[in-house]
Amino acid sequence: QLAPWASENGLAVRAAWCWNAKPPWCTLPTVSGGSCKVNGTTVTQLSPGETCEPTCDAGKVLVGSCVLLTCPTSGDQPTCTNDLSAKTWWVPCGFGDKCLGAIDLGTTQWEQFGTYSCVDPADATDACDGLSYVTVEKPVSTIEQIDQGTLGIVGGLVLIMLLAAVIGRFSPA
């Protein structure tokens, strides 16, 4: 969870953790006349990094983003720090050891991970000819997450510790 708190001097403090007891997941939209399949089996949710293929019942045609629906990846356990800037899991999951919410694929908020519907051919103005993979930005690495303020504070604390050690070594007993 990204949790900023502002102190009197404006210093921002952040904490991060993963959801080990119940990890993140994506729910799939309920589509009249269609479903999303993984290896030919209809699914209703995906784990991070999984994709499914939207399909329509006979007599219907696929419209939408024309991509495989993709549940965004989550960062490596146990800290998931790559999720900090991915703008995906922190909001729906909340804090604690269980992810409290899910990403609802197919909704406006998450449309960058794919949308679809199944319509009658007469109503299909932009039917999909085929499906492709959605392109998702690579999460920022852990080292890129550390902002300059944090580095400055850590550097300042190290300098104070070194100075204290030097003073303690040369002070009269």
Per-residue pLDDT reduced to its tens digit, 64-103 = 888 889 998 887 666 676 666 667 887 788 777 888 888 9
Give the integer Cα–Cα distance in Å for 49 and 139: 12
Q: Which helix (H) or strand (E) holds 103?
A: strand 103-104
CA–CA distance from 7 to each of 1, 13, 17, 34, 74 (Å)? 19, 8, 22, 51, 30
Quote the pLDDT of residue 135.
57
Give the integer Cα–Cα distance in Å for 34 and 16: 38
**Per-residue pLDDT for 52 more than 90?**
yes
pLDDT in tens, 13-47: 555 567 777 888 999 999 999 999 999 999 999 99
Quote the pLDDT of residue 27.
94
Quote the pLDDT of residue 85.
62
